[in-house]
Amino acid sequence: MKKQVLLIAGVFVGSFILLSMTSLTSNEQEKWEVPSKYEKMENPYAGVSDADNIGRILYAKHCKSCHGSKGKGDGTKAKSIDTPIGDFTEASFKQQSDGSMYYKSFIGRDDMPSFIKKIPDEEEQWMLINYVKNM
């Protein structure tokens, strides 16, 4: 009887550990909480034309290696990163507010670095958001 109880307890504990380690599949990402301040942030360049292709140029320089040339999360560095890479072409991405995209891009978390120092110019930051939004 003791052996059976120990066996059942061992199976239960082992199952719990396995389940907790595999709670996210490779295509899922832990929910990214965006502070209300950013969620409500408005894009001051929402209607501005990017005649100089600033967004595209910045994307190629800073984002393409992870997010891929078409924004699908399949860049050359994507497989070497532990965190699942976002797909900019998915409806769930496009439904986010501009402020949410800004926060994720310029504040960052985990494997997604902050780009606030690499792209300090506010207009350039928003041109990049505009470019990514339209992928």
Determine the 3-state secondary structure of 112 from DSSP.
Answer: strand
Query: Hey, what domains does the chain have and what are their CATH numbers?
Result: 34-133 (1.10.760.10)
In residues, how long is the chain? 135
Band (pLDDT 50/70/90 cuts) for residue 115 is very high
Tens digits of per-residue pLDDT, 27-61? 445 688 899 999 999 999 998 999 999 999 999 99
- What is the reported pLDDT for 21? 35
φ, ψ dihedrals at 24, nearest 5°: -115, 130
φ, ψ dihedrals at 72, nearest 5°: -90, 5
- What is the reported pLDDT for 32? 81
**How crowded is residue 127: how many other Cβ atoms within 10 Å of its Cβ?**
24
Mean of pLDDT values over 85-97: 92
**How crowded is residue 99: how many other Cβ atoms within 10 Å of its Cβ?**
19
Answering whether pTM is above 0.85, one says no
Determine the 3-state secondary structure of 109 from DSSP.
Answer: strand
Return mean pLDDT, the chain: 82
Q: H helices of 1-135, where? A: 2-21, 36-39, 54-62, 64-67, 91-94, 98-106, 122-133
Query: Are residues 119 and 63 in contact, defined by beta-carbon separation less than 8 angstroms?
Result: no
